[in-house]
């Protein structure tokens, strides 16, 4: 089965939930209390339940990972990634307010991977359409990343790579 050379994740409502809002709407400072991360108002920041399993699968299959987030508060996003102890999982991170097209141009340049070798997950349909137009297999995330969505998307990627398989 063909696997992506690079898998790219959005952050808000894709890899994590920040108390029902975007990370740039939180109120630092962030507090780490055991495994809980909260902002000043008590909003809980958490990875979706299957994210660790998904990241482990990518590690096991030597799939390079990246982030693409258009947040207005990149330092907050990076701080949350650190608190969640997943920063080291991502070889590339384009985290700044801009079009996902700019994020992907940088990812393509820095990684050397063609757009057709990438798989992208995001919760905003406008990003799915924009990035999909580049040739990236782009998957809409309705309610946060799940293992089922991830694995079905790997199959979709493989089908796009080899339309005669099956």
Catalytic residues: 10, 12
3-state secondary structure of 36: strand
Burial (Cβ within 10 Å: 0-12, 13-18, ≥19) of residue 15: buried
Q: What's the Rg (C-alpha) of the chain?
A: 16
- Report yes or no: 140 and 27 within 8 Å, Cβ to Cβ: no
Closest CA to 77 of 101, 97, 57, 59: 97
């Amino acid at each position: 089965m063909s696997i992506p050379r690079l898998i790219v994740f959005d952050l808000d409502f894709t890899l994590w939930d920040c108390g029902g809002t975007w990370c740039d709407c939180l109120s630092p400072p962030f507090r780490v209390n055991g495994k809980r991360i909260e902002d000043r108002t008590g909003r809980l920041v958490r990875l979706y339940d299957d994210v660790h399993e998904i990241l482990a699968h990518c590690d096991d299959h030597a799939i390079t990972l990246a982030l693409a987030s258009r947040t207005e508060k990149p330092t907050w996003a990076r701080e949350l990634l650190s608190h969640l102890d997943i920063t080291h999982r991502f070889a590339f991170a384009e985290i700044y307010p801009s079009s996902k097209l700019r994020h992907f141009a940088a990812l393509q340049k820095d990684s050397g991977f063609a757009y057709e070798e990438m798989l992208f997950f995001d919760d905003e349909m406008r990003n799915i359409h924009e990035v999909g137009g580049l040739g990236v297999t782009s998957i809409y995330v309705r309610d946060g990343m799940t293992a089922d969505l991830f694995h079905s998307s790997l199959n979709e990627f493989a089908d796009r790579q080899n339309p005669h398989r099956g």
